[in-house]
Structure 1
Amino acid sequence: MDNSKRTVVVTGFGPFGEHTVNASWIAVQELKKLGLGSEVDLHVSEVPVEYQTVQSLVPSLWKKHHPQLVVHVGVSGMATTVTLEKCGRNHGYKGLDNSSFCPDSQCCIVGGPDCINSVIDMESVCKRVTSSGLGVAVSVSKDAGRYLCDFTYYTSLHLSHGRSAFVHVPPLGKPYSGEDLGRALQAIIQEMLELIDQAEEKIHCQQQHFH
């Protein structure tokens, strides 16, 4: 096993509602074909649209892979751009999932903070990807929608102390193909890894300055 390799886990969601083919999982499979370069070990996983499954699956992905970064991808019927979510929210989960369930508490983690921000500066990722001339529009949002996407993001942020990201994609063909979305995810995640590296170098330098 090559220890210099970094591990990244990327998830997409399974079908729900009118999304009989979930653009997020198609995009993640396209990303898997492209890869993230030889330095990165990429694992992908399809997440069913069920609160209780998310509660067990997300921690198991962290335990199994010890990733440097986990990126969850979801579809939004309202999205027209690839949207980077800055934070996950704890309360307000009233929508029923695929097994007609929603949490009694209507929250992810009882007693957890209302909102957890990703350690990744999404504005910065957005600027960098936009200026790279990818041909896919990218934007930033502070509201992941209080359904399984938001629920998964909050659960992951809570576990990872903010070392997670969430990306919303539009439905296929509105306007982007699966290949377009895969390329966009590749560019976005490469920028995220770059920013994490810079942040860690900074922390490392600061630690050396304290005597």
Structure 2
Amino acid sequence: MAQTTAKYHCLVTGFGPFYRYTEEENPAWLAVKPLTNSIIEDEQNNVRPIHVSTLQLPVSYQAVMDVVPLLHSHPPVFHPSIAEQAARNGVARPQKGYDFILHVGVAGRGALRVERVAHKFGYNMKDIYGRQAPVVETAPLPVEPEEPGDVPEEVLHISAPQIEQNQLELAEGPEPTPEPIRPKRGFGPGYENFQEEVYSDVNVVSLIRNMKQQNFEDVYLSMDAGHYLPDFIYYCSLAEVIRSVKPYERRRGTQVLVVHVPPVGQPLTSEQVTTALKLIITWVCSELQSIDDTLAKERFQ
């Protein structure tokens, strides 16, 4: 059967100004920008052409909540805050949505980090606008009555004089200062049914093995996306995939990954990071092609 010419559609996002990085210096966007409105072809592995679109997003919790869910629509919808940029960058709007969305953020010096898991809570750091993630209103867990067997033996046998002495010491001492309670921040209304940790469907171990076989050694798997904007966008994006795919449907969802890149020259150049992103995109889409070919065969059986 002849190879179809249908394209895969990949969207790559990079973050904008971020503390010491200006718009043109953010390592994430520097590596992403050369991929704008490009085609990746891998004839050697017989992979369909991959159209790559790019978007720069602000380092903002609210921007993520405004923009990302719409990007997972079929076809994608552009929030007014990015509509002009999307038109300028020639961002595609495939009718069935993107096949792969790759979010790129910046971390400290070192190798590329391919993140495996995203977190629902724990976002206490302020974004570029000095704002924090939303406070999540959660009901306290009910307190279960303890069985006698659950009480430590030494507590059951405290004598009356000991208790009185302890109470006396507490009464004579200074009033204890209450511990400040840090509010839980992250994803609240609309995300109640999602787990606290959500994992990507991408086989990150196999991806990294392939990158090393392609002579890109400076890469490793990470299980801690940092509880900041890259982690936040990861959870938001993965949640939308879960929301959009129904159990009874015989189709795959959009693949999503987050990659953390180092500052330029520590040790990778921006060009090397761009090359690594291409390797990631090509490998993920080759895996999608295998899945799609299998699903196509099942339909004709």
Taking structure 1 as the reference length, the TM-score comes to 0.88
Residues 29-55 of structure 1, C-alpha deviation per residue, up to 9 Å, x if partnerless? 133386423712211000100000111
Q: CA deviation at 1:82?
A: 1.0
Q: Select which of 39, 58, 61 maps to 1:51.
A: 61
Q: Select which of 180, 192, 208 maps to 1:126.
A: 208
- CA RMSD of the aligned region, Å? 2.2
Matched, 1:99 2:129: yes
Q: Select which of 56, 67, 82 maps to 2:98.
A: 67
Residue 98 of structure 1 aligns with an amino acid whose one-letter code is: I
Name stretches of at least 5 consecutive residues in structure 2 with no aligned partner.
42-47, 77-92, 137-184, 243-253
Q: Aligned residues, how many?
A: 206
Q: Select which of 134, 144, 147 maps to 2:228.
A: 147
DSSP-derived class of the 2:72 partner:
helix
> 1:191 maps to which residue?
283
Residue 261 of structure 2 aligns with an amino acid whose one-letter code is: V
Please show how residues 1-211 of structure 1 align to structure 2 within 5 Å: 4-20=6-22, 21-32=25-36, 35-37=39-41, 39-63=49-73, 64=76, 65=93, 66-77=97-108, 79-102=109-132, 103-105=134-136, 106-109=185-188, 110-111=191-192, 112-134=194-216, 136-161=217-242, 163-202=255-294
Residue 149 of structure 1 aligns with an amino acid whose one-letter code is: P
Residues 40-84 of structure 1, C-alpha deviation per residue, up to 9 Å, x if partnerless? 22110001000001111112222323101100000002x411111
DSSP-derived class of the 2:234 partner:
helix
8 Å contact kept, 1:30–1:178 = no
Moved more, 176-185 or 103-112: 103-112
Residue 27 of structure 1 aligns with an amino acid whose one-letter code is: A
Pair 1:201–1:117, CA change in 2 (3 A)? farther
Moved more, 191-200 or 23-32: 191-200
In structure 2, distance between residues paired with 1:46 and 1:25: 7
8 Å contact kept, 1:34–1:186 = no
Taking structure 2 as the reference length, the TM-score comes to 0.63
Percentage of identical aligned residues: 29
Residue 5 of structure 1 aligns with an amino acid whose one-letter code is: K
Residue 139 of structure 1 aligns with an amino acid whose one-letter code is: Y
